[in-house]
Chain A
Amino acid sequence: MSRSRYLYFWASLTLIVVGASSSKAQDLVPVISGAAGFIYSKDSGQTALQPILSPVVLIPLGSKLLVESNVEMQGFVARSSPGGPYEGQYFFSVNYLQLDYVVNSHLTIVAGRFLSPFNIFSERIGPIWIQNFQDGPLIYPIGTRTSGSSDGGMIRGVVASRPGWLLNYTAFFSALNNSEDFAAGRAAGTRVGLFLPKANFEFGASYERFLQDHHSNSYGGYFVWQPTTQLSVKAEYAHSPQGQGYWIEGAYRFRESGPFGRELKNIQPIVRGQQFYRLAPGVNDALPQADTQRVDFGLNYYFPHEIRLNGSYGRQFSSTGNSNNWTLDLTYRFLSPVPFWPKGGR
């Protein structure tokens, strides 16, 4: 176990013990949720197997505080060379370990390691039990930079809320951290979103200033629209000095009351289109090296007990070579109180 993991382990354990003493009085129970998944993918003829365990620990403290943490343990098994034996690698990452202090609806103060709030993919759609396509969007590295997480402080909340609209905001600062499991870039940024409940439509904009090496700006926009309870449409646009692009995704969940409703209610067709345009050469920026277009089609099937089977096919077009991408994954979402908790039980 490396020093940073050792530190993470003891910090988590200490927080749980502190939480134990303060949560009992209010009948608040710490929870372990998250998901386990297994992904089979065939990308440009290369087969890969990826088991993933992504637990989330929530420790409510009193009426205003919450400690939340998510780590991801992921294996990656693939052939080292064409026709060669399968070899495995193992990755561990701390996505967030943060303390939230809910002052009121207008202000929540967050300290620690948190998901970089640039656009919405990372914070809202990123977890493996939520996202419809297991490979992230082409533009994902824009704004999230190094690890997708930030180390520092963040404020967020609702500026104002009326029956017809709600304006929310987020602002953060992150320090540079080069440690193995808590890597983050020095950056500051903000996001503002406007939600129109009657239309079930939210749109917003993000800005981030990267404050190290060659200082640079990234900005983007997003929208989420649910015209009906069955249909959901999400999209993001992002721009950085290295490139710009967008993705748009639609998902449709069949009505239980419609024709063949009982058979179709657990099925969700999904489709996503993406374009990326390279503006300047980049080294290790995780973006495609050339202009790229991609379209994905998929199907979610929801089994009982929070099990989801997903299959998708994607076709990618690029001057560096076109490719087919197949993915099949199974995810199980779990949620339970922390085992052996005082006053146990649900």
Chain B
Amino acid sequence: MSRSIFVVFAMLMLSLLVTLRSGARPQQGNAAPKTTASKIDESAEGEKRFRTNCGRCHHPPEDLSPREARAVIRQMRVRAMLSAEDERLILKFLAP
């Protein structure tokens, strides 16, 4: 692959990004208000899923803000092939 092909490939990727982004919708706002008890349950379930899916390779990060956790868990969803439900629950555990 020559460098010029790589540049064209990078431009195509950018075009794809912008195109897909224009059609993307935020996922926020679809969650019903949770009680404290259900939040604790979800965090516990998230911890369980973290131990099962992520703990085989590494320990949980010590300090992760919700904004950082969203980016990290997105990468781990791809890397560890997590489901959308795993992603949501592990997020509750990492950054409640």
Contact = CB atoms under 8 A, between A and B. Distances in A.
Interface of A: 3-4, 7, 11, 14-15, 18, 22, 25-31, 33, 56, 58-68, 99-102, 104-105, 108, 110-112, 123-125, 129-130, 151, 156-158, 161, 168, 175-177, 179, 182, 197, 200, 202, 224, 226, 229, 232, 234, 302, 304-306, 333, 335-337, 346
A125 B14 CA distance: 30
A182 B1 CA distance: 10
Nearest to A151: B1
Contacts of B34: none
Interface of B: 1, 3, 6-7, 9-10, 13-14, 16-18, 20-21, 24-28, 51-52, 55-59, 61-62, 64-65, 67-68, 70-72, 74-75, 77-84
Contact of B57 (A30, A125, A306): A125
B68 A112 contact: no
26 contacts: A11-B10, A22-B17, A22-B24, A27-B28, A29-B67, A60-B70, A62-B25, A64-B20, A66-B71, A66-B78, A68-B78, A99-B16, A100-B75, A101-B16, A102-B77, A177-B1, A177-B6, A200-B56, A202-B56, A226-B56, A302-B59, A305-B62, A306-B61, A306-B62, A335-B68, A337-B65
B80 to A, nearest CB: 8
Q: Which 5 A-B pairs have the closest CB atoms?
A: A62-B24, A346-B65, A31-B71, A29-B67, A105-B83
A91 to B, nearest CB: 21
Contacts of A104: 84
A62 B19 CA distance: 11
A31 B75 CA distance: 11
A200 B61 CA distance: 21
Contacts of A197: 52
A340 B67 CA distance: 15
B78 A102 contact: yes
A70 to B, nearest CB: 10
A18 B75 CA distance: 18
Contact of A28 (B1, B25, B58, B70): B70
Given A3-B3, A26-B28, A346 B67 contact: yes
Contacts of B79: 123-124
A265 B24 CA distance: 45
Nearest to B27: A63
Contacts of A123: 79
A110 B18 CA distance: 16
Nearest to B2: A179
Contact of A18 (B14, B56, B58, B62): B14
B20 A62 contact: yes
A333 to B, nearest CB: 8
Contact of B26 (A25, A67, A175, A200): A25
Contacts of B27: 26, 63
A68 B14 contact: no
